[in-house]
Structure formats: structure tokens, C-alpha cells
Amino acid sequence: MIGTAGKESKQDCLVKVDLRKEGGLEVSLTSSVGKLFGNQIRKAAVEAAEELGIKHAFIEIIDDGCFDFAVKARTKTAIKRAGGN
């Protein structure tokens, strides 16, 4: 099951999470600010998943200038909507 949160608009992000049984955490990022902040965005998503005890998931982020705290919140919401925790 795939969970989503957020929307594709300025200063926001859309996060889709597909929970898996193996394979670790994989993050796909499409971002207007990816060259500058891509590593921080990916780190925020991984931290959010780890905080919920998720070890295996594919996380897709479509970002247009979203803050780190919003990436974490969207990721956690998407995980919960996908059936995690």
C-alpha cells in the first residue's frame, strides 16, 4: 500500500511512501532546490522514517522549496497512511 501526503506547489512537497519488507530505505528526490539542499531533504525523510521504526521503504519526494520540518511531517504522515505504525 502506498501512502501520500502534501501537494505539488510552491514551498511545499508531495511525499509518497511504499512500505516494503526488505531493501532498506530508498529515497527518490525531484526538487527545484535539489542541487543546494538535496542531501538535507533526503536526510530529513530518512530520519522521519527511522523515528517511526521503519527500516524498509521507498520514499518519493517531489519538492519545490519545502522546509526540512515539513518534509519530516509529510513523510511521517505518508508512512502512517501507508499502514506503518
Q: Which domain holds residue 57?
A: 2-81
Mean pLDDT per block of 10 residues along the chain (85 residues) reads 88 94 96 93 97 97 93 97 84
Is residue 13 within 8 A of residue 71, CB to CB? The reply is: yes
Helix (H) or strand (E) holding 39: helix 34-51
pLDDT, residue 9, reads 79
For the chain, the domain total comes to: 1
pTM, rounded to two decimals: 0.93
pLDDT, residue 7, reads 86
pLDDT, residue 81, reads 96
pLDDT, residue 8, reads 83
Is residue 79 within 8 A of residue 35, CB to CB? The reply is: no
**Rounded-to-integer distance, Cα 48 and Cα 3, Å:** 14
- Give the CB-side neighbour count of residue 56, counting CA atoms within 13 A: 4
CATH number of the domain enclosing 39? 3.30.230
